[in-house]
């Protein structure tokens, strides 16, 4: 039987985690410029944002070539105070004072990995209808998604195609600066080493330090500034694109990184489909 990475405070995700995962992802990814670039209407449709992450992670949990794992911590009573205002009204907190899910990470295994199919839960996935979830994608901009794909795909194909990939990493804002992002990356790195896999990532600015310190080395830096007419159309709700693409070789040791980042937060996230 294949061994599983072991990191204190990190475990494999279960179907029952999906709704909490979607809340944590929405709260964390809000601080990513990619979030605001792709979702300029997030203020008007917070329930659609939650729904899109629910469906994304549900798909990942079901996928034999993916692994989803989570970080846990004692739940803070005021954790909802640390999320953006529109999400706060849709935010469902866990019971304060008990251990709960505060971070999530997903990985796409390399083609032919011996771990494919090893981390999937049994039957009984939680259905979105149980939470009244319907992904209408009203927070998205189809134009923005098309631009994002055009700008980022060439570098991703060049550096990330055909290798193991750290797909998403998110920690709820109330639990930043506690080492959860580093623990999730450590779990991912251990799995890559066990599988003798090169590990790739496309990281947003706030998360670059976390993956850099884990031994990832830069391969590309993507920047895109929206035309002024688009910025006027979406006012302050949008942002430009900035992605850092890096690779970690098997057995790489963590090292200090010169990239400045004030927070331990999401490094990357799934690209929603229009």
Report pLDDT digits (tens) over 121-167. Answer: 765 555 554 555 677 899 999 999 999 999 999 999 999 999 999 99
Name the pTM for this structure: 0.88
Q: Which residue has the higher pLDDT, 85 or 121?
A: 85
pLDDT at residue 90, rounded to an integer: 75
User: Which ranges of 63-141 does DSSP label H, i.e. alpha helix?
Assistant: 85-88
Q: In this predicted model, what pLDDT tens digit does every residue of 41-64 receive, in sequence order?
A: 999 999 999 999 999 999 999 999
pLDDT for 89 = 80
Q: Strand 241-248's sheet: what is its strand order?
A: 10-12, 66-74, 99-108, 164-171, 199-203, 241-248, 217-224
According to the model, what pLDDT value does residue 236 have? 56
Residue-level pLDDT at 174: 95
Q: What is the pLDDT of residue 241?
A: 92
For residue 258, name the pLDDT band (cuts at 50, 70, 90): very low
Identify the residue with better confidence: 76 or 127: 76
Angstrom distance (rounded) from CA 129 to CA 105: 24
Q: Estimate the crossing angle of helix 46-62 against helix 18-29, to 10 degrees.
A: 120
Please give the sequence-ordered ranges of beta strands (E in DSSP) within 90-176, or none if there are none. 99-108, 164-171
Residue labelled with tokens 């670059």: 208
Tokens coding 77: 């009573």
| Signed CA dihedral, 33, 88, 134, 124: sign only | positive
Distance (Å, rounded) from C-alpha 252 to C-alpha 150? 32
* Average pLDDT of the residues of the chain: 87
% residues pLDDT > 70 (the chain): 85
Question: CATH assignment of 10-113+140-248?
Answer: 3.40.630.30
What digits encode the pLDDT tens for the residues 198-233? Answer: 999 999 988 898 999 999 999 999 999 977 766 566
Residue 102 has pLDDT above 90, yes or no: yes
């Amino acid at each position: 039987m294949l061994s599983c990475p072991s990191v204190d405070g990190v475990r494999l995700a279960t179907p029952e985690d999906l709704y909490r995962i979607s809340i944590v992802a929405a709260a964390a990814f809000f601080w990513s410029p990619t979030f605001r670039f792709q979702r300029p209407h997030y203020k008007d449709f917070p329930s659609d944002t939650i729904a899109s992450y629910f469906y994304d992670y549900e798909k990942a949990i079901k996928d034999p070539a993916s692994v989803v794992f989570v970080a846990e911590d004692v739940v803070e009573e005021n954790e909802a105070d640390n999320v953006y205002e529109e999400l706060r009204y849709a935010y469902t907190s866990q019971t304060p004072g008990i251990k709960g899910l505060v971070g999530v990470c997903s990985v796409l295994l390399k083609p032919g990995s011996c771990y494919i199919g090893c981390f999937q839960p049994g039957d009984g996935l939680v259905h979105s209808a149980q939470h009244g979830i319907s992904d209408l994608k009203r927070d998205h901009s189809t134009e923005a998604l098309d631009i994002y794909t055009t700008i980022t795909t060439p570098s991703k194909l060049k550096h990330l195609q055909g290798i193991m990939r750290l797909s998403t990493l998110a920690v709820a804002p109330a639990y930043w600066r506690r080492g959860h992002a580093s623990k999730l990356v450590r779990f991912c790195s251990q799995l890559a080493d066990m599988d003798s896999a090169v590990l790739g990532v496309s990281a947003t600015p706030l998360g670059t330090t976390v993956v850099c310190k884990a031994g990832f080395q830069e391969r590309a830096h993507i920047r895109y500034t929206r035309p002024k007419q688009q910025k006027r159309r979406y006012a302050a709700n949008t942002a430009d694109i900035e992605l850092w693409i890096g690779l970690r070789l098997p057995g790489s040791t963590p090292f200090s990184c010169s990239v400045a980042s004030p927070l331990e937060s999401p490094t990357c996230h799934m690209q929603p489909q229009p």
